[in-house]
Amino acid sequence: MPTKIKKIAKPVEEKPVTPAKSGRKIRLMQGNEAVALGALDAGVNFFAGYPITPSTEIAEILALELPKRGGVFIQMEDEIASISAITGASLAGAKSLTATSGPGFSLMQEGIGFAKITETPCVVVNVQRNGPSTGMPTSPAQGDIMQSRWGSHGDSPAIVLYPDSVKESYELTIRAVNLAEKYRTCVILLLDEVIGHMREAVTLPDIANIRIVSRIKPTIPRHWYKHYDENQKYLSPLASFGEGYRYNVTGLTHDALGFPTNKPNEANDMMERLRKKISYNIRDLVQIESREMEDAKIAIFTAGITARAAKSAVAAARAEGIPVGLLRPLTIWPFPDDAVRKMLRNVETVIVPELNQGQLIHEIRRLTKDKQDGNLIPIQRANGTLITPNEILRIIREVH
């Protein structure tokens, strides 16, 4: 009997992902919900993850919404598989994202390193909970500030964003996706448990007003393509699998085509590329909020939910006539060295409140020699409760 040759299935056509239409009117929204909507508006069309408190709502919403818009949602067997899946999907052309918390973030570190060395755009959202290990799943902590920078082994650059409100969670999710695409790297969005679960009234901007960045595609003939080619700002085009451009993807140190190498000069080229694409673009990457800093003699330096307590304390202290201000990084990595140096020059005392046993403060110490003891004041706590405005205000009054 003659065999009937069946036509092999054609490659699936990429369906356009239509952006979220859900309410552009003011409405009550949770931080995690804002992240999910931000991801949809940024054009994320692939999510792979393993739900974990306090990030679960992100997966929950995307599981409902992505399939409706032609995107893909996969619940994986664990977090190692999740980070691997989003990296693979990205190489196939998707804008991909995953969401997790402490224990899952630890498991993802190897995969984050792989995404960085292979220069594959993707976003990991880490809604931080109290740790170490399983810790207190429903309680806040800011214990992953250093892990988000140094968690993966080897020298690797990091872009880490850190919102302090529901609205900003939406905005920084879009920015995280944009930066991942632009810089071809794994961008991390850190949230605090309280921000992930907090509800605030938010009006989302019109889709037309949102700036969306997508990876540069190669336009040169296929045989000229280098997967890790350099241009002036160390940003290079990225071809997707299946588009006809050939390249190798490996976690081993590689040359411009992606093939493994042990040659010191080629290894050096790769490592310098990874470093320079961040360090040559600090201005584009760093964002800070400066509040009442013009005449401040006391400065508070903090991020995320703790900055909300600090803002309240600053307003109360200003009402008492105390010259205090707040410097808040929205991008915590790369660290805003210049802004912090300026702050250190202008104020007498810096207060660094954080929900851990001392992480951000090390970066301030790195940048100052003379504000080590009495003039650099930590407020640290890792017991699952927030630092309150009154605690900060009390310290401000003592210093003043």
Q: Which residues bind other proteins (CB under 8 A)?
A: 26-28, 53, 136-139, 194, 197-201, 305, 308-309, 311-312, 315, 386, 388-390
Q: Which is nearer to other proteins, 198 or 299 (CB)?
A: 198
Q: How far is the CB of 308 from other proteins (least distance, A)?
A: 5
Q: What are phi and psi of 127, to 5 degrees?
A: -85, 105
Name the residue type at position 366.
Answer: R
Q: How far is the CB of 32 from other proteins (least distance, A)?
A: 13
Q: Which is nearer to other proteins, 50 or 114 (CB)?
A: 50
Q: Which is nearer to other proteins, 123 or 299 (CB)?
A: 299
Q: How far is the CB of 311 from other proteins (least distance, A)?
A: 4
SS (H, E, C) the chain: CCCCCCCCCCCCCCCCCCCCCCCCCCEEEEHHHHHHHHHHHCCCCEEEECCCCCCHHHHHHHHHHHHHCCCEEEECCCHHHHHHHHHHHHHCCCCEEEEECHHHHHHHHHHHHHHHHCCCCEEEEEEECECCCCCECCCCCCCCCCHHHHCCCCCCCCEEECCCCHHHHHHHHHHHHHHHHHHCCEEEEEEEHHHHHCEEEECCCCHHHCCCCCCCCCCCCHHHCCCCCCCCCCCCCCCCCCCCCCCCCCCCCECCCCCECCCHHHHHHHHHHHHHHHHCCHHHHCCEEEECCCCCCEEEECCCHHHHHHHHHHHHHHHCCCCEEEEEECEEECCCHHHHHHHHHHCCEEEEEECCCCCHHHHHHHHCCCCCCCCEEEEECCCCCCCCHHHHHHHHHHHC
Burial label, 276 (beta-carbon count in 10 A; 0-12, 13-18, 19+): middle
Q: How far is the CB of 199 from other proteins (least distance, A)?
A: 4
Q: How far is the CB of 245 from other proteins (least distance, A)?
A: 48
What separation in angstroms does the CA of 203 have from each of 23, 168, 316?
Answer: 8, 11, 28
Q: How far is the CB of 248 from other proteins (least distance, A)?
A: 45
Q: Which is nearer to other proteins, 164 or 181 (CB)?
A: 164
Q: Which is nearer to other proteins, 372 or 390 (CB)?
A: 390
Q: Which is nearer to other proteins, 253 or 312 (CB)?
A: 312
Q: How far is the CB of 395 from other proteins (least distance, A)?
A: 15
Q: Which is nearer to other proteins, 36 or 305 (CB)?
A: 305
Structure-block tokens of residue 309: 């307590």
Q: How far is the CB of 381 from other proteins (least distance, A)?
A: 14
Name the residue type at position 288.
Answer: I
Q: Which is nearer to other proteins, 151 or 163 (CB)?
A: 163
Q: Which is nearer to other proteins, 53 or 368 (CB)?
A: 53
Q: How far is the CB of 313 from other proteins (least distance, A)?
A: 8
Q: Which is nearer to other proteins, 203 or 268 (CB)?
A: 203
**Quick one: which of 171, 207, 206 has its CA closest to 189?**
171
Q: How far is the CB of 112 from other proteins (least distance, A)?
A: 27
